[in-house]
Structure 1
Amino acid sequence: MLRSIRNASPMPPFLCLAASVFNKHIMWWTVGMHLSLCRTNSHHAKLGEIAIARGKEDCPMLT
């Protein structure tokens, strides 16, 4: 996996990996925040909490 990242990008593999983890964390957190703000639909709010927790799991250093 790291070899394919290295070939696809001029960035060092570690930076590529860090960027992909960071982006995934931001994606989960953003989805979670949007859904958890949806107070009119409790199902959406619950999904939002799960997404935020998932983002924290993926990258605990950023939370």
Structure 2
Amino acid sequence: MQEQDGKVNYRAYQVFGRSEDRQAYTFHLFDSFGANPASPAHGSWKDNVLNLEQDSYTASYLLPLS
């Protein structure tokens, strides 16, 4: 969420899931501008890093596990 002059002008939602068909984790991004990718990113864990790839980008997320 982003605010400007006390009003919300942008929202984004990130949804993590699991695709059993592809045996991969999924990442979906939805924002209030409608600039959402046509398909989710897919990836897998290595140690405590989730590596995701999507047609338009590649990202790695470090998610500490305890």
- TM-score higher than 0.5 here? no
Higher strand share: 2
> Could you tell me the TM-score, scaled by structure 2's length?
0.23
Greater helix percent: which structure?
1
Query: Which of these two proteins has the greater Rg computed from alpha carbons?
Result: 1
Structure with greater contact order relative to length (CA < 8 Å, sep ≥ 6): 1
TM (norm. structure 1) is: 0.24
